[in-house]
Amino acid sequence: MESNGQPKDRDIAGSKAALTRAAKQALALARRTGTPCWVMRDGKLVDLAKRRTVVAR
């Protein structure tokens, strides 16, 4: 890592954005198909597809 907190490797630097896009797409697919989208929140498994609103973190 460089001193500004960003990785030197461009592939690594873009991975957070790619994971965020993939998570949004997975949640959208789960809501469209009526399937669960499980994540760990505060040590508990939570189905995000059941929620009507998106929780910002």
In a domain, 2, yes or no: no
Residues in the chain, overall count: 57
Task: Please give the residue range of the domain that contains residue 35.
Answer: 10-50
Give me the pLDDT at residue 55, please: 60
In a domain, 44, yes or no: yes
Give me the pLDDT at residue 13, please: 82
In a domain, 17, yes or no: yes
Give me the pLDDT at residue 56, please: 61
In a domain, 19, yes or no: yes
List, for the chain, all residue ranges whose pLDDT scores fall below the cut of 50: none
**Residues 49 and 33 sit within 8 Å (Cβ to Cβ):** no
Give me the number of domains the chain comprises: 1
Give me the pLDDT at residue 14, please: 87
Q: Tokens 């989208």 appear where?
A: 37
In a domain, 57, yes or no: no
In a domain, 55, yes or no: no
At 8, the amino acid letter reads: K
- E strands present in 9-54: 38-41, 44-47
